[in-house]
Structure 1
């Protein structure tokens, strides 16, 4: 009997680690005034970015349909994270921008992720965490931001 883990365990453990971090992030975001934000909203708000975007561009970036992007925009608008306004360069288009509340959520998320990383370093040891991160950098593409994950999963 081999002491090695089966091949399928690695992706499941990586996904589980992602899930643990995201769940902890959202618990803390809820405590800090953002109880309605959901994990997929982070991908969407990152894709909207500091300069805004349109529903078509958002769908393309996320790898989902314009309709799926539009529904998510509606949800984020309803809970105060984004606003839509006419495009100053083309009045037929609407630009989606983050509100101050949306920007606050992203700023808090960054700080919380730093705290979560510090917790992992305390638990595993800073050197082991740095080695893990280094190894993951070797095994993954250099491009950190794969915002098309919602489309890759097939849902938004």
Structure 2
């Protein structure tokens, strides 16, 4: 059995996480396009998935998404141009800026949450509510350990 066949038969964590991510992104962004958001791309999720309705600092978005601040800055520039967010002074620190969703951004956030909730509901129905809840608990623990660099 060659490496590709082994990965197919017994995929490792990275392969499975990638398969889930790419499949979920394809469904999510396809549905968003059908619901009035055709310009968004999966890369925009590094901002939109973590953006607070009241606004977020770019540094917080970078930390939460695991992306470099420069990448987040580029994505925010794109989202400003597309009309999903705007930059405003942070009322707690006038030197800092907040990335704030526009009405279009808020609409996308609501629709995205509903689409992902539907995807999760379907998985829970397919494998059972308890099994899916246990999977999410374990996956969250694994993701947290990986993010923190624990052995």
Please report the TM-score for the alignment, with normalisation by the length of structure 1.
Answer: 0.70
Cα 1:62–1:20, aligned 2, differ >3 Å: closer, same or farther? closer
What residue is the counterpart of 1:115 in the other structure?
A: 118
Compute the RMSD of aligned alpha carbons. Answer: 3.0
Structure 1 residues 64-103: aligned runs within 5 Å? 64-103=67-106
SS in structure 2 opposite 1:59? Answer: helix
Unaligned runs of 5+ in 2: 2-7
Distance apart, 1:138 and its partner CA: 4.7
User: Looking at both structures, which has the greater relative contact order when contacts are Cα pairs under 8 Å and sequence separation is at least 6?
Assistant: 1
More helix per residue: 1 or 2? 2
Please report the TM-score for the alignment, with normalisation by the length of structure 2.
Answer: 0.72
SS in structure 1 opposite 2:99? Answer: strand
**Worse overlay, 51-60 or 94-103:** 51-60
Out of 55, 58, 61, which is 1:58 matched to?
A: 61
What residue is the counterpart of 1:48 in the other structure?
A: 51
- Rounded Cα–Cα distance in structure 2 between residues aligned with 1:111 and 1:50: 16
Cα 1:54–1:22, aligned 2, differ >3 Å: closer, same or farther? same
- Rounded Cα–Cα distance in structure 2 between residues aligned with 1:53 and 1:15: 27
Deviation string for 1:78-106 (max 9, x for gaps)? 10111011223333222111111111111
What residue is the counterpart of 2:36 in the other structure?
A: 33
